Amino acid sequence: MRGAALLLCAVLPATACPLSAPMLQQGEVQADWKVDGAPIAVGRHFAIEVQLCPAGAVLARANATMPEHRHGMNYRPGVKPLGDGRWRVEGLMFHMPGRWELQLDVRAGERSERLLDTITLP
């Protein structure tokens, strides 16, 4: 399981993007994230923060699924802009232990990308 807020960023010079070592990448979009608040626990709501690059990129949707079980969460998370390319995703809840796949749908200009990360809860 990873910790901390989710940050998304395009491949730009270091001075243009706040990420020094992005954790996720799809096309020109890169991401790093962390939990905002208490650690992720089965059956408890949690939130993550997101930082987007390039400037103007939009976190259109966040979701999570359990690929092996072929189902998603029982809740639909909300996405709120925080300014300066940062986003907050609230209302996430993993209702059972196992492998979850976090999905971040990002629009950057004319392109849409889906970034994926795996979170395993014991």
Torsion of CA 116, 29, 57, 4, to 10 degrees: 50
Alpha helices in 34-98 (DSSP H): none
Residues 7 and 19: beta-carbon distance below 8 Å: yes
| Mean pLDDT, the chain, integer | 82
Residue 23 — very low, low, confident or very high, per pLDDT cuts 50/70/90?
A: confident
**CB 69: neighbour CB atoms within 10 A?**
11
pLDDT higher than threshold 80 for residue 121: yes
pLDDT digits (tens, 9 = 90+) for 31-67: 778 899 889 999 999 999 988 877 778 999 999 999 9
Which has more pLDDT, 52 or 21? 52
Q: What is the pLDDT of residue 37?
A: 87
pLDDT digits (tens, 9 = 90+) for 2-16: 443 334 343 333 335
Instruction: Show the domains of the chain with their CATH numbers.
Output: 6-121 (2.60.40)
Task: Give the closest residue to 29 by CA, choosing from 40, 19, 42.
Answer: 19
